[in-house]
């Protein structure tokens, strides 16, 4: 048995074995394509209105006082979002514990709660095959195995895509679509080859990055073999000196980054000689547009740590998460990831139908 025939049967068996799970992951991936934009649009309709014309938002110093009233395990973090009416978030680590009216400081209901809940359940099914939004180790493992099989399908599919006779006419046939087909099987075969070839690079990126969410070993290997060396930012220390108000510190950061989208900072009950601001100038999924800013609270000087100055390990981790969704390349990347997921559904369908027809013919 030659290599091509062996790979064909491996491709067919793996494809049929993982078809359902690849289809479900791809379909939910399509639904999640513009999750961030849809949530943001829904949230804006829930933003609190100013109590009067030209009403002023609370200062960062006033918001800090409110944040310190919340019981937290870590230093509470204040998160500001660009927009006059945008609520202020209070976080304890990664967990959001409150949304505040930016004008009064009163706690409000989370914006777009229903939309967020819907996408959270879709995302849970996408990752863990659960319908209630809860974590499932079994579902995570099944999806992980299906992802590994998907990677093998893509790699073997690229080899099987190559024409037996390597000439221009054969390549053109594998690269172009026609409108007339002698049979449904012929159409499915052409779709499987043409769309499979064009989507293979994107699908390979989506599948490879997905295994980091399904298994621990890829992340552990990355941590072990990729450099963590970087110039660390100075850590804030207690100080008895007179420090600048947080509002003044914020103004300096805004002058440096006028196009910021979100700003976050930890709040301390005691004066510190340094204040760290995390600035996101992107869509929330573009790690290369994030900057850590350390403000000297005494003289207002700024020290920056941009994405490219971080360790290779942190840069890799930052990219892996958002390469999977395409968000690392903005709306274009999201669209390409969504289209690739949609065509993955088509590849599953055409692959299964071709296998089914082959099985029927073998019984005659």
The dihedral of CA 103, 109, 115, 119: what is its sign?
A: positive
Are 282 and 264 in contact by the 8 Å Cβ rule? The answer is no
Report residues of the chain scoring pLDDT below 70: 1, 364
The DSSP-derived string for 245-270 is -HHHHHHHHHHH-TT-SEEEEE--SS
Q: What pLDDT is recorded for position 1? A: 56
pTM above 0.85, yes or no: yes
**What gap in Å lies between CA 16 and CA 351, rounded to an integer?**
8
Q: Which of 36, 338, 318 is nearest to 206 (CA)?
A: 338
- Vertex 347, ends 344 and 352: CA angle to 5°? 130
The DSSP-derived string for 92-105 is ETTEEEEEE-TTT-
């Amino acid at each position: 048995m030659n290599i091509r025939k062996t790979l064909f049967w491996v491709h067919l068996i793996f494809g049929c074995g993982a078809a359902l799970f690849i289809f479900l992951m791809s379909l939910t991936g399509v639904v999640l394509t513009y999750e961030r934009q849809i949530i943001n649009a829904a949230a804006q309709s829930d933003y609190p209105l100013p109590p009067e014309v030209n009403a002023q938002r609370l200062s960062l110093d006033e918001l800090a006082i409110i944040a310190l009233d919340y019981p937290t395990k870590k230093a509470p973090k204040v998160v500001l979002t660009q927009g006059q009416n945008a609520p202020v978030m209070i976080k304890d680590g990664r967990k959001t514990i409150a949304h505040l009216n930016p004008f009064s400081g009163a706690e409000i209901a989370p914006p777009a709660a229903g939309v967020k809940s819907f996408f959270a359940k879709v995302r849970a099914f996408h990752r863990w095959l659960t319908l209630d939004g809860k974590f499932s180790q079994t579902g995570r493992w099944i999806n992980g195995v299906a992802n590994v099989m998907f990677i093998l399908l893509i790699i073997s599919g690229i080899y099987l895509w190559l024409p037996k006779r390597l000439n221009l006419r054969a390549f053109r046939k594998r690269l172009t679509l026609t409108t007339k087909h002698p049979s449904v099987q012929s159409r499915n075969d052409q779709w499987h080859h043409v769309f499979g070839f064009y989507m293979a690079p994107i699908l390979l990126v989506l599948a490879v990055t997905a295994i980091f969410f399904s298994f621990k070993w890829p992340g552990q290997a990355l941590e072990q073999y990729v450099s963590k060396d970087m110039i660390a930012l100075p850590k804030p220390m207690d100080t008895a000196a007179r420090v600048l108000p947080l509002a003044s510190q914020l103004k300096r950061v805004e002058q440096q980054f006028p196009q910021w989208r979100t700003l976050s900072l930890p709040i301390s009950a005691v004066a510190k000689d340094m204040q760290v601001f995390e600035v996101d100038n992107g869509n929330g999924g573009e790690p290369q547009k994030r900057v850590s800013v350390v403000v000297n609270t005494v003289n207002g000087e700024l020290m920056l740590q941009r994405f490219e100055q971080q360790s290779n390990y942190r840069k890799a981790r930052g990219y892996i998460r958002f390469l999977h969704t395409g968000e690392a390349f903005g709306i274009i990347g999201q669209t390409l990831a969504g289209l690739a997921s949609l065509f993955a559904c088509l590849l599953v369908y055409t692959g299964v139908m071709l296998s089914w027809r082959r099985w029927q013919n073998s019984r005659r």
